[in-house]
Amino acid sequence: MQALILNQYKEQVAVNNGINLKPVILFKAQRTIAQSQENKANFHKLINELTTDQIDSFRESGLEIVQRAFRFFDEKMTTEALVQRLKEAFREEHCLSVNNDKEKETYQLRLNNLEDKNNPIRAIFAVQKLNEGWDVLNLFDIVRCYEARDSGKNRIGKTTISEAQLIGRGARYFPFVFPDHTDKFRRKFDADLDHELRVLEELHYHSIHDSRYISEIRTALIDHGMMDARPETRELKLKDAFKETALYKHGVVWLNKQVPKDYEHVKSLTDLANLSVKQKNYEHTIYTGAGGVTTIMENGETPVQQRNQSSRDVKVIDIEQNIVKSAIARNPFFTFTSLKRYLPHLTSIREFITSENYLGGLAITFKGDLSDLEGNCPAKLSACEGLLSQIESEIREDITEYEGTKHFYAQQIRAVFIDKTLKFNVDTPRADGSDLAYLVKVSDWFAFESLYGTSEEKAFVQMLDRWIQESEKMYDDIYLLRNEGHFSIYNFSDGRGFQPDFVLFSREKNGASLSYQLFIEPKGEHLSANDQWKEAFLKEICAEYHSKILTENSKYRVIGVPSFYHERYENQFKDDFNAALKPATRTSEQ
């Protein structure tokens, strides 16, 4: 039950933050297929007979994560609604048994694409068949359905090691983006343990409490490199000499803001998302329930009763409004308040149902037994629910909650750039700052005492050192500051947060009193595909502000420099870098 509560909590946290997630639970039997089959039967009985009292009995749990889940549910839904969601999510056809080679082969496609939004599977029941060769990104809970341990006095048993390896596979990171944290493949909340989305970075392994077993499984995880024995910490401090500079005392860094997305232009569903149900009707099949019986020994068969198997298109506006309203009421996404956020010109739920701009412009294709479609209210209700679910899924994929302002504002450098304690995994190359320690120490232009960076970031610093030696006649007050989560800028189109690795400040020597601020992002070429939007954003900043002076009193130009890829594109980056600093026809920002 605890796994069900936490699993539903993770799904709803994701929904609440615009993340498309279908978390899966694995129920692990100890040795035999019979045990796994019994676990599955007991699970279906639990789901079918689930009551609000059973849910409420867990409200007294001493686990903070469970308490957090109930606080979340209490703000979003009733306990009865939670029960109904669990019954719907984990009904029998949404559960797979994978206990032998035949079952595994039959369901291989479903097992390999559990992350697919059209794959309804939420629970897997297995013994050993998934211990190897199975990787899934949306496995968030593993339930150990047995109590036995197999360890001896001085060793960890093979079963415990196997379980640790299973946890390691289950702990594959589910990629998602979030404002300020837009690298979808990077953990985001290790330093913010209270953040709501932290739960999407956690795998929960549920077992009977046994302190010795917990100690053994932890040791096995550490031994196999799946858990850090201890974190490495490093101090990142500004140089005292930099704190005495005019830039630190009086200078500013120009940043933009993340604001709610303006949907004022949206006047129809198709303005909001590229809906597949607008291009092709949503299809709903009405199953006949008819069948036949064959007597093997006599080769006899009772014929199947033939029924009408035609199809029919029905406009949503032609379905009884009480049925459509009931389907809408069952999906929290379609409350009037929620709809008004994305459809600001909508005046009522009635308009949402009847207008050609909304549901009134859509139709459902019914297939199967249509002999009594007019009177088959359950089928029409189910079809409307499916249509709404499809619309919700596609809207959530297309919409963004935020956008980045094109207006930049000034923040005091001394308020933004502060000393920090950094935490690294053991053996990470970033924790080693020794290779450029001397260069960093003797370079007045490098603001921090140390550099803990990737090989690309260190290569950029070396390149910049050469550039500064060549450019001292043209610029002074050159300072490079490392951005270790000190600030974010926000993509203009969707508000995704971006933390450029460096920001460079410089000032012309020609008496124009013009200062430059450059956002710089060194990356390895293998990451370029994931970071293309960042490079496009930097180029957009450069195009927008290259010739624009932000303030007349102290003249600033904000520039985004395309990403630096050390392995192949250093000279190209130098050209872009120098071009960004060339004088341009200057206009003042209004």
pLDDT in tens, 153-184: 555 555 556 665 666 655 677 888 776 666 67
**How many helices (DSSP H) and strands (DSSP E) are in the chain?**
22, 24
Q: Report the distance separating Cα 436 and Cα 459, nearest Å.
A: 10
* CA pair distance 197, 140, nearest whole angstrom: 13
Cβ neighbours for 129, distance < 8 A, ≥ 6 positions apart: 98, 99, 100, 101, 103, 104
Which residues, listed in sequence order, are joined to residue 141 by a DSSP beta bridge?
Answer: 25, 204
Question: What are the C-alpha distances in Å from 572 to residues 133, 535, 564, 569?
Answer: 42, 14, 9, 5
Q: Give whichever of 8-22, 298-312, 437-451 has the largest mean pLDDT.
A: 437-451
Tokens of 64: 């903070």
Assess contact for 456 and 449: CB atoms under 8 A.
no
Least confident of 256-270, 473-487, 535-549: 535-549
Provide the pLDDT for residue 587: 42
Query: Is the confidence at residue 443, as pLDDT, over 90?
Result: yes
Q: pLDDT tens across 564-586, in order? A: 666 667 777 778 777 777 654 44
pTM value is 0.57
Which pLDDT value is given to residue 363?
A: 95
User: What is residue 542's predicted lDDT score, i.e. its pLDDT?
Assistant: 84
- Burial bucket for residue 480 (CB in 10 Å: 0-12, 13-18, 19+): buried
Give how far Cα 388 sits from Cα of 22, 237, 277, 311, 368, Å: 17, 53, 10, 20, 21
Q: What is the pLDDT of residue 586?
A: 44
The three-class DSSP label of residue 67 is helix
Closest CA to 77 of 98, 55, 94, 48: 55
> pLDDT band for position 589 (50/70/90)?
very low
pLDDT of 437 above 80: yes
Question: If DSSP codes are grouped into helix, strand and coil, which group holds residue 118?
Answer: coil
pLDDT at 82: 93
Residues 110 and 24: their CA atoms lie apart, in Å, by: 12
pLDDT (tens digit per residue) in 109-143? 777 788 887 788 999 888 765 555 566 788 888 88
pLDDT of residue 307 exceeding 60: no
Q: Where are the beta strands (DSSP E) in 10-103?
A: 24-28, 95-98
- H or E element at residue 409: strand 409-412
pLDDT at 588: 42
Instruction: Give the model confidence (pLDDT) of 522-531 as tens digits.
Output: 877 665 666 7
Choice between 288 and 306, residue whose per-residue pLDDT is larger:
288
Mind listing the pLDDT tens digit for each residue in 369-399? 888 888 899 999 999 999 999 999 888 887 8
* Dihedral pair phi/psi, residue 86, rounded to 5°: -65, -40
Angle CA(111)–CA(115)–CA(118) in degrees, nearest 5?
A: 90
Gap between the Cα atoms of 274 and 345, Å rounded: 19
Contacts of 588 (CB under 8 A, 6+ apart): 548, 549, 552
> Please, what is the average pLDDT of the chain?
81
Q: Which amino acid is at 436?
A: L
- Residue 380 and residue 90: Cα distance in Å, rounded? 23
**What letter does residue 296 receive in the DSSP assignment?**
G
Average pLDDT of 552-572? 69
Tally Cβ neighbours within 10 Å of residue 169: 19
**Cβ distance 381 to 323 under 8 Å?**
yes
Q: What is the mean pLDDT of residues 227-242?
A: 81
The pLDDT-based confidence of 223 (bands split at 50, 70, 90) is low
Rounded distance, CA 587 to CA 457, Å?
33
CA-based radius of gyration for the chain: 30
pLDDT per residue as tens digits for the range 61-116: 878 899 999 999 999 899 999 999 999 889 898 998 887 666 666 667 777 788 88
What confidence score (pLDDT) does residue 479 get? 95
pLDDT of the residue at 284: 92
Question: Among 218, 51, 205, which Cα is nearest to 142's?
Answer: 205
- Percent of the chain exceeding pLDDT 90 equals 35
Taking the CA of residue 133 as centre, how many other CA atoms within 13 Å lie in the half-sphere pointing to its CB?
4
